[in-house]
């Protein structure tokens, strides 16, 4: 018929549309999974940094108490002030440290471990509370293992962070005490708890 223009253009079929939507959904889900994984990794890195600072604070407090005690011991003076705290710390010493690490997919049960303690690193004194891993009444767990302070710098609680003092005997030098400073907590996005710890060895004066 004169003047009739035929066109070969056609629309997408339903199968092509469904295929395109499926590919887009797969790409979007994969991108979100990668983003969540990256966020979880960043969160754990931040938590580890925060817990490391808590552990370092305990280690520095122990070293300060030890140095104060040694200084007064060498002068032949009776330990007073912060130096006297060394005697209190030594009352918690034991022959061996507890098993450390994830056990049956969970952190060690602190109520079953004898002679655990933490120091008030701000005031350099015993915290006055026993470390715990149990959920506080009408509360929730903090995001990582930590010593929680009140506004007056007293310790309110210590969750998932503890110290064990293990006495050591040396035949070639002075006796010593190994302070096992440990932390264990549940991190978001992780199937198993995160553990972190260090050992501080301090020698007895002679």
pLDDT digits (tens, 9 = 90+) for 58-112: 999 999 999 999 999 988 888 889 999 999 999 999 999 999 887 778 899 999 9
Output 187 or 120, whichever has higher pLDDT: 120
Q: Does residue 4 have a pLDDT over 70?
A: no
What local confidence, expressed as pLDDT, does residue 10 receive? 62
Average pLDDT over residues 28-42: 67
178 vs 96, 121, 167, CA distance in Å?
A: 10, 18, 6
| Cβ contacts of 205 within 8 Å, gap of 6 or more | 69, 70, 73, 74, 174
Contact 60, 121 (CB under 8 A): yes
The per-residue pLDDT of the chain, averaged, comes to 86
DSSP assignments along the chain, one per residue: -TT-------PPPHHHHHHHHHHHHHHHHHHHHHHHHHHHHHHHHHHHHHHHHHHHHHHHHHHHHHHHHHHHHHTTPPP-GGGGHHHHHHTT-BSSPPP-S-BTTB---GGGSTT-B-EETTTTEE-SS--B-SPPTT----SSSEEEE-TTS-EEEEESEEEEEEEE--SSS--EEEEEEEEEEPPTT-SS-EEEEEEEEEEPP-
**Choice between 134 and 177, residue whose per-residue pLDDT is larger:** 177
End-to-end CA distance of the chain, in Å?
117
d(CA 122, CA 92): 20
Question: What's the pLDDT score for residue 34?
Answer: 66
> What are the domain boundaries of the chain?
14-203
């Amino acid at each position: 018929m004169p003047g009739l223009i035929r066109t070969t253009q056609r629309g997408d079929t339903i199968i092509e549309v469904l295929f395109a939507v499926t590919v887009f959904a797969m790409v979007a889900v994969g991108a979100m999974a990668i983003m969540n994984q990256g966020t979880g990794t960043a969160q754990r890195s931040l938590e580890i940094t925060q817990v490391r600072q808590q552990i370092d604070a305990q280690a520095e407090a122990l070293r300060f108490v030890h140095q104060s005690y040694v200084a007064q011991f060498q002068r032949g003076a009776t330990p007073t002030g912060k130096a006297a705290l060394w005697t209190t710390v030594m009352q918690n010493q034991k022959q061996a440290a507890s098993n450390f690490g994830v056990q049956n997919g969970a952190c060690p049960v602190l109520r079953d471990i004898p002679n655990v303690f933490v120091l008030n690193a701000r005031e350099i004194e015993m915290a006055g509370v026993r470390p715990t891993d149990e959920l506080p009444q009408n509360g929730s767990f903090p995001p990582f293992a930590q010593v929680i302070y009140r506004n007056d710098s007293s310790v309110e609680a210590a969750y998932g962070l503890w110290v064990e003092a293990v006495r050591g005997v040396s035949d070639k030098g002075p006796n010593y005490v190994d302070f096992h400073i440990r932390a264990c907590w549940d991190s978001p996005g992780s199937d198993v708890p995160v553990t972190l710890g260090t050992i501080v060895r301090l020698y007895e004066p002679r």
